[in-house]
Every structure is written in structure tokens, then in C-alpha cells.
């Protein structure tokens, strides 16, 4: 009996193009990046992960694009094992420091939540403290965040900036000035 | 796995990594090259860039839910990488089409310096590819994933079932359906001989 899968085996892409290169540098780069992720998240054993008592849920027309945006531009880390993928949309939990935001799709069937892109108005601002607001600002600006209030030292003791994300949700990123001074060795 | 038994199993390493995250590096070192080759086969080197890392980050974050009765993590990792690929179906379609555009003879009209087994295998693979690619492109994703894990990655039924999180019976029926499609694809060609027009049709189907 001939095996029906024989042609498929013989035509495996690496046989088609044996010199198709796998660059060893790709693996070592990936390993380096992977290990830095482990270092960042590794301090907290995942079994001890808890959702904070209060955390917002933000709605997006395109929650998958939002997920990509928030991790890339603002440096949020997704709890990948928590992601729920439904035919009607993705639910995801994003962590920064000891805070969590949940994101999902906008619409009447999703708790009647709206994206600012549809509502034409923003009705809340999410405030986030970060370890180094200067670096955070530089990254967000470089990645194309819409900065609406520039980085500035405020009288109440924060260095902060405000930005709109891809669908217009408003974010306030700050660092205590005492922490800034400590970080810069000026305490 | 090390047949000598001197090295801890993947399951033991993963269990240890729940308390000591850096231990997970061993899982990367053992399986990253295999996963990269798999991803490159499916979507090509450019699109595969970054997907190995993404797969391992997901694996790392899910390590607490790893089934430690399975000593080798390889099927589990293949399953995660397969899920990652699901977001890259267009890259996969482009890969299938791009390989179909390779010249039939490696090196074009220039005869190869030496006709060795590798060249023969390559010419053979390129002859087969357009029809194989058209079949792969036409398969529903679930059948395609099972089929390619079996035929290209040499996973057994049990491992495919573990990787895709489906019963073994479902693996069997998916593979049977895929086999039938491959057979149907082949038979008209055997009867009618090779027609250049067939290949351009195949190509159109791959890209659609």
C-alpha cells in the first residue's frame, strides 16, 4: 500500500529549499529577550497572582489591536494564561506594577461599554504609577502615543504626562518626584 | 529527553520553574531550535521572526498548568506554537505560494555542478510542491495543523492529541480526511499527466 502522505513528506519546505537559512543569531536573540521577560515577571510566582480589589475594564472596537498597542507602547504585560478568546471577542488582563486593567470589546452585548472612538467622549482617565516615567514617556512617544499633556513636574509631587491610546482612552502616567530624585541620585 | 536518565525530565524542570522561574531556560534550550524549524516551515523565516519567543513566553506563563504526567514538553510546545500560528494564516498562505514560485530546477537553467542525492530530493520536492501546497491551502485549519504535525514534525497520534487538546479519535479522523484530500488531488494528475496550466490554477487557489 502506498502512503498517501508520502508526497507531503517528500515536499517538506526545507527539502524544497535546503539552504533556507535559520540564522543562529535568531535563537540567541530570542533567548536573550525571553530571559529578560522571565526576569521581569519571575519575581512573582504565578500562583500568587491576584487581581486587585479595584480594577477598570476598558472597551475597544478592536480589542486585539488594543492589546498589541498597550503592550508595545505603554509596556503593559499581559497575563497570557488568563486570556479568553470568544467568537464575540477577546478578554485580556494587563498588568503594570501591582495594578491590572482588563480590556474587552465595546458594544451593547459587552456590558454596554463604549470605546471613546464611538462615543466621541472620554469619561474616565486611568492613572498609572511607573518606576521611571522619563523612560516610559520616551518609549510611548517613540511608539506613537498621542501625548496630550507633556511630561512635567506638578505641584502635588508627581512627574507626569498624559496620553491617548489608539481609540482615545486617556492615560495618566506618573512617578512620585521623591522617587525621581532618588532614581537620579539627588535625594 | 535524555535516554540515560541523568537529566531531569521537562516535567521536572517545569515543576521546578514554578518556584524558580529561571529554570525554564532549560526548556528553551531543549526545544527552541525544533520550534523555530517548525515555525519557519509553516510561515517562512521572516514571519517566524519573534514567534519562537512569543511561544515560549506563553509557555512560561502557563507553566503552572502543565500536565506533569507528560515527561516531554515538546507536544505541549508544538500546541502553543500552533495556536500562535493561527494569527498568521495570511503569512502561511504567502509562504505556500512563494515556495510554489521557486524554479523547478534549483539554480534555474544552469545544470548543477554535481547531481547528488540532495539535488535529486530537491527537484523531486519542487515537482510535488504545487499540488501539495494547493491541498494544504485548501484544508480547514484543524486538519492542516494535525496533518503537518504528523507528516512534517513526526508527532504520533497521542502527541498530536496532547498538542492540540483534542481526543485521539479526532486526530485520526482529521488525518483520514486530509489523506483523502491528498489522494483526490493526486489522482487526476496521474491520469492526465502534467499540465503547466494546473500549476497556475493551484497558485491562484493558494493565494485566494
Task: Supply B97's cell numbers.
Answer: 505560494
Where residue B193 falls among pLDDT bands split at 50, 70, 90? very low
Q: What is the DSSP string of A138-184?
A: HHHHHTT-EEEEEEEE-TTSEEEEEEE-TT--EEEEEEEHHHHHHHT
> Is B53 within 8 Å of A45 when comparing Cβ atoms?
no
- Lowest-confidence segment of A11-20, A90-99, A106-115, B137-146 by average pLDDT: A11-20
Mean pLDDT of A7-17: 84
CA distances from B116 to A17, B47, B168 (A): 15, 31, 40
pLDDT in tens, A116-165: 999 999 999 999 999 999 999 999 999 999 999 999 999 999 999 999 99
The pLDDT of residue B159 is 95
Task: Supply B85's cell numbers.
Answer: 500560528
Q: Which of A46, A16, A82 is nearest to B60 (CA)?
A: A46
The pLDDT of residue B186 is 66
Whole-number mean pLDDT of chain B?
82
**What is the side-by-side order of every strand in the sheet holding A125-129?**
A125-129, A170-176, A158-164, A146-153
> Is A31 within 8 Å of B28 when comparing Cβ atoms?
yes
More confident residue, A88 or A120: A120
CA A87 from chain centre, in angstroms, equals 22
pLDDT exceeds 70 at position B181: yes
Residues of A in contact with B125 (CB under 8 A): 10-12, 15-16
> Is B57 within 8 Å of A37 when comparing Cβ atoms?
yes
d(CA A34, CA B50): 10
Whole-number mean pLDDT of chain A?
87
The pLDDT of residue B106 is 64
| Site from A30, A42, A49, A94 to mutate, B interface, most B CB atoms within 10 angstroms | A30
> Is A11 within 8 Å of B125 when comparing Cβ atoms?
yes
pLDDT exceeds 90 at position B114: no
Residues of A in contact with B25 (CB under 8 A): 31, 34-35, 38
More confident residue, A37 or B130: B130
Task: Supply A7's cell numbers.
Answer: 508526497
Task: Supply A162's cell numbers.
Answer: 498624559
> Is B152 within 8 Å of A33 when comparing Cβ atoms?
no
Give the closest-approach CA distance of A7 to chain B in angstroms.
Answer: 6
> Is A16 within 8 Å of B45 when comparing Cβ atoms?
no
pLDDT exceeds 70 at position B118: yes
d(CA B149, CA B154): 6
Mean pLDDT of B160-168: 93
Residues of B in contact with A38 (CB under 8 A): 21-22, 24-25, 60
The answer to whether the predicted template modeling score (pTM) of the entire model surpasses 0.90 is: no
The pLDDT of residue B24 is 93
| Site from B48, B57, B149 to mutate, A interface, most A CB atoms within 10 angstroms | B57
Where residue B127 falls among pLDDT bands split at 50, 70, 90? confident
Amino acid at each position: 500500500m502506498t502512503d498517501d502522505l508520502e508526497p507531503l513528506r517528500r515536499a517538506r519546505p526545507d527539502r524544497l529549499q535546503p539552504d533556507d537559512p535559520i540564522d543562529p543569531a535568531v535563537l540567541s536573540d530570542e533567548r536573550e529577550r525571553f530571559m529578560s521577560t522571565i526576569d521581569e515577571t519571575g519575581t512573582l510566582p504565578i500562583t500568587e497572582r491576584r487581581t486587585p480589589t479595584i480594577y477598570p475594564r476598558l472597551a475597544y472596537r478592536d480589542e486585539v489591536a488594543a492589546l498589541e498597542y498597550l503592550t508595545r507602547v505603554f509596556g503593559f504585560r499581559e497575563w497570557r494564561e488568563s486570556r479568553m478568546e470568544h467568537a464575540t471577542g477577546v478578554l485580556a488582563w494587563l498588568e503594570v506594577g501591582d495594578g491590572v486593567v482588563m480590556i474587552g470589546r465595546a458594544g451593547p452585548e459587552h456590558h454596554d461599554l463604549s470605546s471613546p472612538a464611538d462615543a466621541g467622549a472620554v469619561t474616565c482617565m486611568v492613572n498609572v504609577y511607573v518606576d521611571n516615567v522619563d523612560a516610559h514617556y520616551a518609549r510611548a512617544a517613540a511608539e506613537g502615543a498621542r501625548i496630550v499633556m507633556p511630561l512635567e513636574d506638578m505641584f502635588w509631587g508627581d512627574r507626569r504626562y498624559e496620553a491617548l491610546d489608539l481609540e482615545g482612552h486617556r492615560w495618566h502616567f506618573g512617578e512620585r518626584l521623591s522617587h525621581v530624585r532618588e532614581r537620579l541620585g539627588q535625594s | 529527553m535524555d535516554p540515560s536518565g541523568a537529566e531531569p525530565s521537562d516535567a521536572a524542570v517545569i515543576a521546578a520553574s514554578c518556584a524558580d522561574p529561571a529554570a525554564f531556560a532549560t526548556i528553551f534550550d531543549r526545544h527552541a531550535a525544533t520550534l523555530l524549524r517548525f515555525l519557519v516551515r509553516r510561515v517562512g523565516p521572516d514571519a517566524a521572526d519573534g514567534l519562537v519567543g512569543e511561544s515560549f513566553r506563553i509557555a512560561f506563563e502557563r507553566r503552572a498548568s502543565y500536565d506533569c504526567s507528560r515527561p516531554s514538553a515538546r507536544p505541549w510546545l508544538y500546541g502553543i506554537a500552533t495556536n500562535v500560528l493561527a494569527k498568521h494564516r495570511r503569512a502561511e498562505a504567502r509562504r505556500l505560494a512563494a515556495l510554489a514560485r521557486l524554479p523547478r530546477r534549483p539554480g534555474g537553467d544552469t545544470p548543477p555542478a554535481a547531481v547528488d542525492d540532495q539535488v535529486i530530493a530537491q527537484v523531486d520536492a519542487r515537482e510535488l510542491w504545487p499540488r501539495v501546497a494547493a491541498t494544504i491551502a485548501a484544508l480547514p485549519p484543524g486538519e492542516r495543523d494535525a496533518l503537518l504535525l504528523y507528516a512534517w514534525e513526526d508527532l504520533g497520534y497521542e502527541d498530536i492529541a496532547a498538542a492540540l487538546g483534542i481526543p485521539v479519535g479526532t486526530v485520526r479522523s482529521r488525518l483520514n480526511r486530509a489523506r483523502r484530500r491528498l489522494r483526490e488531488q493526486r489522482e487526476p494528475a496521474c491520469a492526465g499527466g502534467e499540465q503547466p496550466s494546473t500549476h497556475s490554477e493551484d497558485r491562484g487557489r493558494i493565494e485566494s
